[in-house]
Amino acid sequence: MTNGSNARELDLDSQIQLLSRIQFLTRFNSNLIQITGTEGAGKTWLAQHYIEHYSQNCNQALLLCHPAQTDSQHRSIVLKQLVNQPLFNDQDPLIQSLERMLEGHRSDVLLIIDDAHLLSPVLIAELWAVITRAQSEPLWQINVLLFSQTGRLNKYLDQVSHGQGQMPLELEISDLTEQEVQTFVEVVLSSDALDANGRRELKEKAASAEPKPRALMQLNNTDNNMANSSSRTLSPLALLVVMLAILTAGVVFWFFPANDEPAQSANNTIVTDTAKENLKTEHYDDADTAQSATIAPQQAKKVALSSSDRAIDDARVLPQEISSEGLTVGRNDDSQRVVVPSQVVDAMLSGQALGTSGQEALAQQAATPETTQSNTDINTNDVTTVSSDPVTPQQKAAAPVLSVQQKKSAALGEELKNVDSRHYTLQLAALQSLSTAQKFIAEHKIQNIATLYETRRKGEAWFIVITGNYKDIVTARRAELLLPDSVQAVQPWVKSYAQIHREIDQAK
């Protein structure tokens, strides 16, 4: 109904009368009472308020129904609250388990079920069987309060009580009166941050809203959301500046496109490096020289074609072609040509200047190819040996990273095994992937309060998001009201740590 301490201190006349009537009906006999109301009428707040202030002298059990829960889970939650260290089978009907657990003992039990319209017809029949058995047992006084939406349980209750001479009782939650609406606004919604005009506007909105607690609470949420959205809206001036910046960038890109100079420089560098490599390794065969002379013009043509294909004509001069005849002796193409390095030519000229014929330099040139070829083979073998090693530093580091990640995944939720199994928590979500669960936590900004653990259901991995450690269900339900609005919208439900321990063990 509310989400603050002011709401818990608020007492409205219509609700006090309803709770007092329920207390009177459950004081001397066993009954099944259905408390109905439309959505947003305050059923959850009434259920918790009755437990805290109207039923302290009996053994209490609170069941908060959730669409994802099963009948076995409902039975287990109820029975664990009635008896310390109970021994039961959650597949057996409630009446059989209670007869074994309460046999020969005087018992005053109050069972309150919120959102009872989510119960299955089977469990409703079991609850009615418990009431009829308690009415004939002098040691038992058991009362069941079903808080549900209007008309959702009438069909099933009529079926189970047909022909028995008695019917379940039904009480209806009425709407708030005009005076109660104004009291609600003054106590719950008004704050010191509002001035006189703000309080007056809030009361006017409340007067036109539906007279139900949830509708009144949404008035305050609407004001907060509007304030937050307005603070996030860009001013017109900032929007204009952004548009001008985008337009300027588009104009610059359109009229000053990127040139092709880097691509041409890269091709020229490749051709030059190829020629230098041939000179360095001293491969002076005719075939190699002809191949180098052929590759250079082809690469120059490719650069010219790629430049001409563009929409913008870049009329720059292409680099000069590399000449294949710069280091040759003789110009006759019909005879075999000998390629002589510049060092040999210099030695021959020096010898002729000293009066010799220069044949000694040619004799040294004859021995040079064998030495060069030998050195080249040695370098090639060294490169092959280094490249044959298949292990890289990145591959060596991969194995430890994987093992750490696997260890982290295996330890997910292990710290929850240390929590007392009699305590309770709030389950926020159940997802089938760790990344989706982490995304859920990030979207709702609950990194500081949320905890993850992994379980297995029918062989598939599930990642459960929970929050909190509470000694009883009432404390856990109160804590739900303090969660962010986005988290309350996913309808958290109370879950025992005993069940969490079993689910963690199933993941091993």
Q: Are 71 and 122 in contact (CB under 8 A)?
A: yes
Q: Are 19 and 54 in contact (CB under 8 A)?
A: yes
The mean pLDDT of 213-237, rounded to a whole number, is 61
409 confidence band (pLDDT: 50, 70, 90)? very low
Q: Are 112 and 50 in contact (CB under 8 A)?
A: yes
193 confidence band (pLDDT: 50, 70, 90)? low
Residue 136, token pair as written in the block: 């004939």
Distance (Å, rounded) from C-alpha 186 to C-alpha 183? 5
Residue 350, token pair as written in the block: 């020096």
Which of 214-223, 236-245, 254-263, 276-285 is most confident? 236-245
Q: Are 351 and 358 in contact (CB under 8 A)?
A: yes
18 confidence band (pLDDT: 50, 70, 90)? very high
The pLDDT, as a whole number, for residue 324 is: 47
Q: Which among 95, 163, 172, 101 is positioned nearest to 135, based on CA atoms?
A: 95
Write the Ramachandran bin of 104: left for phi over 0, alpha for psi from -120 to 50, otherwise beta. left
The pLDDT, as a whole number, for residue 281 is: 45
Task: Tell me how far apart the terminal alpha carbons of the chain are, to the nearest angstrom.
Answer: 41
Would the pTM of this model clear 0.75, i.e. be above it? no
* Phi then psi dihedrals of residue 357, to 5 deg: -90, -10
Residue 208, token pair as written in the block: 């036109």
Residue entry with tokens 């009829």: 132
Per residue in 37-77, pLDDT (tens digit) is 988 888 988 998 898 888 878 899 999 999 999 999 999 99
Per residue in 228-253, pLDDT (tens digit) is 444 455 567 888 888 888 988 888 87
**Percent of the chain whose pLDDT exceeds 70:** 63
Helix (H) or strand (E) holding 231: helix 213-232
- At what angle are helices 71-82 and 94-101 packed, to 10 degrees? 20
Per residue in 1-15, pLDDT (tens digit) is 444 445 545 678 888
The mean pLDDT of 286-294, rounded to a whole number, is 45
**Percent of the chain whose pLDDT exceeds 90:** 27
The pLDDT, as a whole number, for residue 338 is: 60
Neighbours of 290 (CB within 10 A): 11
Question: Which residues are paired to 452 by β-bridges?
Answer: 465
Per residue in 85-126, pLDDT (tens digit) is 888 899 999 999 999 988 878 899 999 999 999 999 999 999
- The dihedral over CA atoms of 69, 72, 76, 79, expressed in degrees to the nearest 10, equals 120
Asked if residue 420 has pLDDT above 50, the reply is: yes
Asked if residue 197 has pLDDT above 60, the reply is: yes
The pLDDT, as a whole number, for residue 385 is: 39
* Phi then psi dihedrals of residue 301, to 5 deg: -65, -40
Helix (H) or strand (E) holding 272: helix 261-281
Residue 387, token pair as written in the block: 């490249």
What is the overall mean pLDDT for the chain?
A: 74
Structural domains of the chain in order of their starting residue, each with its CATH number: 5-174 (3.40.50.300), 179-219 (no CATH), 405-506 (3.30.70.1070)
42 or 292, higher pLDDT: 42
Residue entry with tokens 């009699």: 422
Pairing of strands 59-64, 32-37: unpaired
The pLDDT, as a whole number, for residue 260 is: 47
Pairing of strands 107-114, 59-64: parallel
Q: What is the 3-state secondary structure (H, E, C) of 7-64?
A: HHHCCCHHHHHHHHHHHHHCCCCCCEEEEEECCCCCHHHHHHHHHHHCCCCCEEEEEE
330 or 23, higher pLDDT: 23
Asked if residue 397 has pLDDT above 60, the reply is: no
* Phi then psi dihedrals of residue 57, to 5 deg: -95, 10
Residue entry with tokens 């064998």: 370
Residue entry with tokens 């929970």: 466
For every residue of 336-349, DSSP letters joined together read: PPEE--HHHHHHHH
The pLDDT, as a whole number, for residue 473 is: 86
352 confidence band (pLDDT: 50, 70, 90)? low
Distance (Å, rounded) from C-alpha 95 to C-alpha 74? 14
The mean pLDDT of 267-295, rounded to a whole number, is 47
Q: Are 78 and 60 in contact (CB under 8 A)?
A: no
Per residue in 454-491, pLDDT (tens digit) is 998 888 888 999 999 999 888 888 888 889 989 988 88
Distance (Å, rounded) from C-alpha 321 to C-alpha 292? 11
Q: Which among 131, 130, 128, 172 is positioned nearest to 151, based on CA atoms?
A: 172
The pLDDT, as a whole number, for residue 62 is: 93
Asked if residue 312 has pLDDT above 80, the reply is: no
